[in-house]
Amino acid sequence: MAPRQAVRHPVFARLWSKAIGPALEKAGIAEHRRRLLAGLTGEVVEIGAGNGLNFAHYPPEVTRVLAVEPEPDLRALAEQAALTASVPVEVVAGRAERIPAAEESFDAAVVCLTLCSIPNQHAALTELWRVLRPGGELRFFEHVQAESPRMRRVQRAVDATFWPLLAGGCRTGRDTRSAIEAAGFTITELDAFAFPETRVPSPSTPHILGTAVR
Ligand SMILES: C[S@@+](CC[C@H](N)C(=O)[O-])C[C@H]1O[C@@H](n2cnc3c(N)ncnc32)[C@H](O)[C@@H]1O
């Protein structure tokens, strides 16, 4: 059965736009957003654009961004952010499992803290492959499965209980790197690091940022 188009998480949308997003900005996430998008050119699709926090960081060589966001409250905020974006951004409804775009229509695709929340990661990555031109880049910045067995146990515990309920369906323990490769992409750049760097790590502290090629 085809996935429903809308994703409704009004409480998470408010939390993200008023509390979590600003807290991550304060912790220095803007530098990672800038690294994620550096060097992009041409036409780009961003999946799960949220309230549009990446829009200010696109380099001027990007000629168009199609920003796909299924959650209506976040999408409305993204539409506002698009008005002052550094490059032309069109915000549309839609979800990763069925991207509203023709095949091989983009030079690059961006996923940023999104693959953790998409129910079917493989379907999303297969769609990203479909809409990218051959040789196109998938840029990713995601929190992922921990290296240490101890933190993996914590991730399994929170994912099975409260975390997805509070965080709009997000799961902390996903092996997103393997999922990207299983969809056929070749990872050409990968940085694995802790963010934010706090004394006591959270289940969402381990991150990867990189590039994969179709
Ligand atoms: C943690 S927020 C990140 C927002 C934004 N990418 C950013 O970096 O600020 C996760 C985003 O994934 C979106 N999302 C959840 N399920 C999705 C799906 N099936 N397809 C596309 N986006 C989805 C949410 O609506 C939300 O905007």
pLDDT in tens, 7-58: 889 999 999 999 999 999 999 999 999 999 999 999 999 999 999 999 999 9
Q: What is the DSSP letter of 105?
A: -
Say if 202 falls within a structural domain.
yes
Say if 30 falls within a structural domain.
yes
Domain that holds residue 91: 10-213
In the reported structure, the alpha carbon of residue 77 is separated from the centroid of ligand 1 by a whole-number distance in angstroms of: 13
Ligand 1: which atom is nearest the Cα of residue 9? 25
Helices and strands (H, E) in the chain, number of each type: 8, 7
* Sign of the torsion angle spanned by Cα atoms 154, 155, 161, 165: positive
**Number of structural domains in the chain:** 1
pLDDT, tens digit, for every residue of 71-129? 999 999 999 999 999 899 999 999 999 999 999 999 999 999 999 999 999 999 999 99
pLDDT at 52: 98
pLDDT at 5: 66
Q: What is the DSSP letter of 54?
A: T
Residues with CB under 6 Å of ligand 1 are 7, 16, 21, 47-50, 53-54, 69-71, 74, 95-97, 112-114, 117-118, 168
* Gyration radius of the chain's alpha carbons: 16
Is 180's pLDDT higher than 60? yes
| CATH number, residue 176 | 3.40.50.150
Decide: 94 and 68 in contact? Cβ < 8 Å.
Answer: yes
Report long-range pairs for 196-199 (Cβ below 8 Å, ≥24 apart).
Answer: 196/24, 196/27, 196/28, 196/29
Q: How many Å apart are CA 127 and CA 141, to the nearest integer?
A: 18
Residue 72: CB atoms within 10 A of its CB come to 14
Say if 1 falls within a structural domain.
no
Say if 205 falls within a structural domain.
yes
Say if 5 falls within a structural domain.
no
Is 145's pLDDT higher than 80? yes
pLDDT at 7: 86
Six token digits for residue 60: 């001027």
Q: How many Å apart are CA 195 and CA 166, to the nearest integer?
A: 20
Which residues sit opposite 137 in a β-bridge?
108, 213
